[in-house]
């Protein structure tokens, strides 16, 4: 009582000071001749425009797009940044990376879309900026967010996709039968290392060039059939082997027959090595070069090698032929860019570029589009019209020219006195309004709540559950209620029981949203919110639906913030969901019980939650008047609470207010 009396006395004192200041201000205006009480009336008009520009706030980027996940090379990842905004300004995004390489460049509408390359993996840091355009205020701001994310390679083992052919060669010869890159491939575009798995025999020598993947076999003096098994391994120790493997056949020439007539035995001799040249495909046509003066219009080349390796020093060579080199077809853009703008105090500058050839976008991207925005270092000057650095005034004082001292006449001093009083009155008025709200905030909130409920536009109740769909939802709702009652009577309640109750509650809510919005059961939050925004319904219904959706999905994703205890909090949420299902359904014939919560410790938080629960039960029977009175009781208990407790109860209070606003549009209070 004493505290209330002190507040009232303070309020009267502030009001008295305000009235005195207004009187002095009017007297000053009279002295200046701005106002007069004579027959002649001097009129003066002035307007004060207060421009408030609320800033858009991004939702949690890491929660929307992920910050640590495994992904394949050449896999596409898409994410749409969402934000909260209370006005209708146009929102634009842009981005840059503080790490290398730049994985993506965000679209102006907030879409992130990129395809991974072998260079994408590791820790990345993107700076994502959001700005507003089209606002009448001059206080539009740009907010930058740091998005740290890690891309980890979801490695795919190499693939042995084409079978190695068998190889035949005479003994004591050399042959290049394979380039292993033609038989193994890696979808992640990782370099492969090749190994010959057979124990190195003494029948032949086999070497592998891991740069070219070339296999060189040098047969020795032994003949016979041998198995060739190779392994391809990527940098992550994943591998593939040649299964089925290839066969190497080393043949021996027939020995010459001995002469029948006398004399000694004849000696054997090997047949001469026959070259067997194999060539790769011709390359693209290269432009004329000083290194190839014989080809005036351009040249192609290809690598050829002797599979039998008859000349161990010259078993491979390049062959050339002439061709007509032509520039790549298409429209080549001719860019003309303006000079860069001066560096702004946000550390960026811009320019405009125009393609004089007006090429299609594909050609512009192919040949390169010049940057139109870049980072820069803002240098403070003595002529930028801003007080910065060591300046004592705007562009004067400190390291700039001294500020000029202007002697003003007494009439100007009088005008300054009027301005001083005006500013004083404005400050006291702000103090007066702040004090009024501080003292009478409960009454003010109650007044505006009743006013909104009274002025809300009348409309029909929104019905979304009918027929079989309604019966299915109601049956599951009844089953959940039975489980809740059974658990309430249980003496030994485990955490797993609570977890199951929570999971089933969220699942039931999502099934209701499937019927309303025609979405998938596991749709992410941004898709659900987008569907609500496009719903053909009243704004009061959509606002109520959005507040309920935010609560259930946030609790599902981030965990419930218990206010009383797990069981009572779940009971309140169940009563909320049951009211919502009843309200969007046509006639309900099934019988349900009223679920009440048990208050073991009497405190403001428990009392508010109890009133919430009672309100939802009353609204299940469309008893709007009592629910409104309950809301007023909640406000009276809510306002004196500490800020941390208000934060816990804010969402619940907001939901009930939105529900009562919507119900006021189609239910008359008794």
- CATH number where 135 lies: 2.60.40.10
Rg of the chain over Cα atoms, rounded to whole angstroms, equals 41
Note whether residue 248 is domain-resident. Answer: no
Residue 505 and residue 608 in one domain: yes
pLDDT tens-digit readout, 268-307: 444 567 788 888 888 888 888 888 888 888 899 988 877 7
Q: Which helix (DSSP H) or strand (DSSP E) does residue 177 occupy?
A: strand 174-179
Q: Which residues contact 629 (CB under 8 A, 6 or more apart)?
A: none
Note whether residue 326 is domain-resident. Answer: no
Given 107, 133, 153, which residue is the final one in a domain?
153
Note whether residue 561 is domain-resident. Answer: yes
Residue 490 and residue 589 in one domain: yes
Can you state the percent helix, strand and coil of the chain, rounding each to 5?
A: 35, 20, 45
Residue 77 and residue 125 in one domain: yes
Residue range 597-626: average pLDDT? 83
Note whether residue 206 is domain-resident. Answer: no
Residue 143 and residue 12 in one domain: no
Mean pLDDT across the chain: 79
Note whether residue 627 is domain-resident. Answer: yes
Beta pairing partners, 69: 151
Note whether residue 332 is domain-resident. Answer: no
Residue 14 and residue 102 in one domain: no
Given 153, 174, 202, which residue is the final one in a domain?
153
Name the domain count of the chain: 3
Residue 436 and residue 559 in one domain: no
Packed helices 539-558 and 566-583: angle between N→C axes, nearest 10 degrees: 150
Residue 421 and residue 483 in one domain: no
Note whether residue 370 is domain-resident. Answer: no
Give the lowest-confidence range in 15-19, 32-36, 327-331, 538-542: 32-36
Note whether residue 259 is domain-resident. Answer: no
φ, ψ of residue 15 to 5 degrees: the values are: -65, -40
Residue range 607-633: average pLDDT? 84
The helix/strand/coil state of 218 is strand
Residue 11 and residue 121 in one domain: no
pLDDT tens-digit readout, 448-491: 666 665 556 677 788 888 888 888 999 998 899 888 888 888 77
> Dihedral of the CA atoms 509, 515, 518, 523 (nearest 10)?
10
The helix/strand/coil state of 71 is strand
The helix/strand/coil state of 234 is coil
Distant-in-sequence contacts of 165-168, Cβ < 8 A, 24+ apart: 165/246, 166/246, 166/247, 166/248, 166/249, 167/217, 167/228, 167/246, 167/247, 167/248, 167/249, 168/248, 168/249, 168/251
Residue 62 and residue 40 in one domain: no
- Enter the pTM of the model: 0.39
pLDDT tens-digit readout, 238-279: 999 988 889 988 888 764 444 433 344 434 444 567 788 888
Residue 42 and residue 90 in one domain: no
Q: Which residues contact 46 (CB under 8 A, 6 or more apart)?
A: none
> Which domain range does residue 612 map to?
456-663
Q: How far apart are CA 399 and CA 390, in angstroms?
A: 7
Out of 22-26, 76-80, 419-423, the most confident range is 76-80
Residue 32 and residue 137 in one domain: no
Residue 563 and residue 416 in one domain: no
């Amino acid at each position: 009582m004493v505290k209330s009396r002190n507040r009232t006395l303070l309020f009267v004192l502030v009001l008295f000071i305000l009235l005195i200041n207004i009187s002095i201000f009017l007297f000053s205006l009279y002295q200046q001749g701005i106002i007069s009480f004579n027959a002649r009336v001097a009129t003066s008009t002035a307007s004060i425009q207060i421009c408030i520009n609320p800033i858009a706030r991004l939702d949690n980027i890491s929660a929307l797009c992920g910050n640590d996940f495994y992904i394949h090379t050449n896999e596409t990842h898409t994410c749409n940044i969402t934000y909260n905004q209370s006005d209708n300004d146009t929102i634009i995004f842009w981005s840059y990376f503080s790490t290398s390489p730049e994985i993506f460049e965000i679209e102006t509408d907030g879409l992130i879309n990129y395809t991974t390359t072998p260079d994408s993996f590791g820790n990345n840091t993107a700076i994502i900026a959001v700005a507003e355009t089209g606002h009448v205020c001059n206080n539009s701001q740009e907010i930058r967010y740091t998005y740290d994310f890690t891309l980890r390679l979801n490695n795919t083992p190499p693939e042995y996709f084409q079978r190695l052919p068998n190889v035949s060669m005479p003994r004591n010869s050399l042959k290049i039968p394979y380039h292993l890159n033609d038989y193994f491939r890696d979808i992640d575009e990782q370099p492969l290392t090749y190994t010959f798995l057979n124990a190195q025999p003494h029948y032949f020598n086999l070497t592998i060039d891991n740069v070219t993947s070339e296999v060189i076999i040098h047969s020795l003096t032994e003949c016979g059939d041998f198995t060739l098994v190779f392994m391809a391994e990527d940098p992550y120790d994943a591998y593939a082997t040649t299964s089925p493997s290839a066969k190497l056949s080393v043949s021996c020439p027939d020995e010459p027959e001995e002469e029948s007539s006398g004399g000694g035995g004849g000696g054997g001799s090997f047949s001469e090595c026959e070259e067997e040249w194999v060539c790769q495909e011709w390359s693209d046509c290269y432009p004329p070069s000083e290194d190839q003066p014989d080809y005036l219009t351009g040249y192609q080349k290809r690598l050829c090698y002797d599979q039998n390796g008859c000349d161990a020093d010259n078993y491979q060579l390049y062959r050339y032929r002439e061709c007509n080199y032509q520039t790549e077809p298409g429209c080549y853009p001719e860019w003309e860019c303006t000079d860069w703008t001066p560096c702004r105090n946000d550390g960026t500058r811009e320019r405009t570029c125009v393609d004089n050839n007006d090429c299609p976008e594909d050609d512009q991207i192919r040949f390169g589009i010049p940057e139109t925005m870049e980072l820069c270092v803002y240098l403070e000057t003595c002529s930028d019209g801003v007080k910065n650095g060591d300046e004592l005034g705007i562009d004067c004082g400190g390291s700039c020219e001294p500020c000029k001292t202007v002697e003003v006449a007494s009439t100007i001093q009088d005008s300054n006195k009027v301005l001083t009083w005006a500013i004083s009155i404005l400050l006291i008025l702000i103090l007066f309004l702040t004090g009024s709200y501080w003292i009478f905030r409960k009454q003010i909130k109650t007044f505006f709540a009743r006013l909104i409920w009274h002025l809300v536009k009348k409309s029909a109740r929104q019905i979304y559950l009918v027929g079989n769909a309604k019966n299915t939802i109601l049956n599951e709702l009844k089953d959940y209620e039975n489980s809740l009652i059974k658990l309430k009577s249980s003496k030994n309640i485990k955490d797993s029981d609570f977890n199951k109750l929570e999971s089933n509650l969220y699942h039931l809510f999502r099934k209701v949203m499937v019927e309303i919005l025609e979405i998938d059961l596991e749709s992410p939050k941004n898709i659900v919110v987008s569907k609500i925004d496009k719903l053909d319904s009243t704004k009061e219904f959509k606002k109520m639906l959005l507040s309920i959706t935010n609560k259930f999905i946030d609790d599902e994703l981030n965990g419930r913030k218990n206010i009383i205890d797990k069981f009572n909090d779940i009971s309140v949420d169940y009563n909320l969901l049951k009211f919502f299902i009843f309200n969007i359904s046509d006639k309900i014939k099934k019988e349900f019980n009223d679920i009440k919560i048990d208050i073991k410790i009497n405190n403001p938080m428990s009392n508010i939650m109890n009133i919430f629960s009672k309100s939802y039960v009353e609204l299940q029977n469309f008893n709007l008047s009592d629910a409104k009175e309950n809301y007023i009781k909640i406000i009276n208990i809510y306002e004196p609470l500490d800020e941390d407790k208000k934060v816990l109860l804010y969402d619940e209070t907001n939901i009930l207010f939105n529900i009562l606003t919507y119900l006021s549009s189609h239910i008359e209070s008794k």
